[in-house]
Copies of this chain bind each other. A is one copy, B any other.
Amino acid sequence: MTFLRNDIFIRALLRQPTPRTPVWLMRQAGRYLPEYNVTRSRAGSFLALCRNPDLAAEVTLQPLARYALDAAIVFSDILTIPDAMGLGLEFAEGEGPRLARPLREERDVGHLFVPDPGERLRYVTDAVSQARRALEGEVPLIGFAGSPFTLACYMVEGGGSSDFRQLKTMRYRRPDLLHRILDVNARAVTAYLNAQIEAGAQAVMIFDTWGGALAHADYLEFSLAYMRQVLSGLRREHDGARVPNILFTKGGGPWLEAMAGSGCDAVGIDWTVDLGTARTRVGGRVALQGNLDPAALFGDAEAIRGAVAAVLAQYGSGSGHVFNLGHGVSRFTPAESVAELVDSVHELSLAYH
């Protein structure tokens, strides 16, 4: 078991006391950082950067060099799994991701398989190992994956979507096919996250970016059920240490109670939900992560400090809160705004512990 010089992120996820509230930011290694853009240019493209463990580990550590963040998250993309399944991932410049071979017919679904993370996703576990070594126990390293449902959205639509028409047509016309995709995805995500844990990830997060687009009952059946399946198969310890996990559904407000009962250690919250209300609703069963509006970072220093203070006050006193945005850092965020955010969290949260 490796000694962690700063383990407050892990302790907060396990709802243990901490001297202050830990903070990290979704997409903290991203385009708002000039040094990230330099490394990305060196790699040639976003995908090439993901696939190069040396460079992926390098950008993983970049935000840590600038800010006193309490966790690192391995640089990667949620679509590595569909890519390893052979669906053909591409990023056209200035557009979102595309999958060259989306799943539309029963035949396509029949060919789906769980990729061996030790082979086709080796570049990710290598990036995890290298980032973990480079961190030298400074802060914990987070591994992650897309949720089975969110991966299915891309796999069926072939890219992003505003209405998920293909996916939802399948949900209403061939729910059996959608369930088959989701089951394969759940097994793939489980194996992938366990491989990241074995490679050195000290916590893992499931990103359910699109579960919030589902009807109320559909979320439980088509998204949460498969995240439960993943959670039930996840390693909870490695190398003598607990490996906590975080479940995040963007727009997940309507299902917080169900998410808290899914077997996860922590639930990520977006900015539309009051954090105090969320805390009451989950009833001390899980830690909470969130939930500043990423747009608050477009404000000046005073506005950022005020917005941080409001989030901390909503959560209130005691353990079990990891400060984060309610979604990823925008590429238009001024780098100095993140410093203001991190420093404000560290300073203002002392009063709540």
Contacts and interface: CB of A to CB of B under 8 A. Distances in A.
Interface size on A, as a range, is 35 or more
Contacts of A215: 271-272, 292-293, 296, 326
Contact of A310 (B214, B217, B298, B326): B217
Nearest to A326: B215
B271 A216 contact: yes
Given A217-B310, A303-B172, A303-B173, A273 B254 contact: yes
Contact of A168 (B172, B253, B254, B293): B293
Contacts of A219: 272
A332 interface: yes
A216 B330 CA distance: 19
Candidate in A168, A216, A271, A299 with the most chain B CB atoms within 10 angstroms: A216
A237 interface: no
A173 B307 CA distance: 12
A119 to B, nearest CB: 36
Interface in A275-330: 277, 292-296, 298-300, 303, 307, 310, 326, 330
Contact of A300 (B173, B216, B310): B173
A187 interface: no
A105 interface: no
Contact of A272 (B163, B164, B254): B254
Q: Which 9 A-B pairs have the closest CB atoms?
A: A172-B299, A168-B295, A215-B271, A169-B298, A215-B293, A216-B274, A172-B303, A254-B272, A253-B254
